[in-house]
Amino acid sequence: MTTAIIGTGGIGSAIARQLASGGETLRLSSADPASARTLAAQIGRAAVVAADNRDAVQGADAVVLALRFTVLKGVIDQIAGPLTGNLVVVPSNPLTLDAHGNLSRVLPEGQSSGKVVAGWLPAGARLAMAFGSMSADLFESSSHRSPERAVLFYAADDDRAGQEVERLVRAAGFEPVKAGGLEQSSRLEVGGDLHDLVVGPAEARSLVGGP
Ligand SMILES: NC(=O)c1ccc[n+]([C@@H]2O[C@H](COP(=O)([O-])OP(=O)(O)OC[C@H]3O[C@@H](n4cnc5c(N)ncnc54)[C@H](OP(=O)(O)O)[C@@H]3O)[C@@H](O)[C@H]2O)c1
């Protein structure tokens, strides 16, 4: 199947490499097309560079918005039409970096980034907050772990979004575990109790209170 990845920086390129290793076909775009071209050349035949963000979404079964939180809404507005009917996967943490290198949350404490992003999407788009719960290096080094896959947590309100993102998580070499609905997305973020955790399925399910 085909996934569009918009944003080919630190986490977007890691997601692209791992999805391609699991057999997914990719359509890539980034602000500077040279960045998407470099990544596509590295991945090979599984990846094509789209003309722009709207073109990336054409024909894709899912769209990963691997963007800084502060540019998400602008890109969603740009591609809103084609997003209708699609799975939208967002790994973004609601953080910004000041001139001194200090990170701060761009949303009030306790406000769910998943709920905020859901409010920006057009009707008919299905959201899963996923693929942002580990730093890019840890994500790549933990994928395809053997004998037991490592878990990648996600948050979604919509059951169909959950099924679709679980397929992508498996393609990337992880076992998916739902942390909860979108209101639980802060658990996946930097500073959240599930962030940068590399655990197997049994421990993961006990952490989220599942069977
Ligand atoms: N890096 C990590 O380890 C990591 C891990 C988990 C979650 N996250 C989260 O994921 C998000 C992205 O982080 P990152 O480290 O990947 O950031 P990044 O390295 O700065 O990459 C951001 C990407 O967005 C692209 N971009 C910016 N504006 C765009 C636009 N209008 N249209 C299309 N593409 C656009 C940039 O394109 P150009 O390259 O052409 O400028 C770049 O490829 C953040 O919210 C971060 O908190 C990051």
- Tens-digit pLDDT profile for residues 151-204: 999 999 999 999 999 999 999 999 999 999 999 999 999 999 999 999 999 999
| Whole-number average pLDDT of the chain | 96
Handedness of CA 46, 64, 14, 131 (dihedral sign): negative
For residues 132-148, give the mean pLDDT.
97
pTM over 0.75: yes
Q: How far separated are the first and last CA of the chain, in Å rounded?
A: 30
Residues recorded for the chain? 211
- Tens-digit pLDDT profile for residues 95-136: 998 899 998 999 999 899 999 999 999 999 999 999 999 999
Interatomic CA distance for residues 25 and 43, integer angstroms: 10
Query: What pLDDT is attached to residue 168?
Result: 98
Q: Which residues surround ligand 1 with Cβ inside 6 Å?
A: 6-12, 29-32, 35, 53, 66-69, 71, 75, 91-93, 95, 132, 135-136
Atom of ligand 1 nearest to the CA of 136: 3
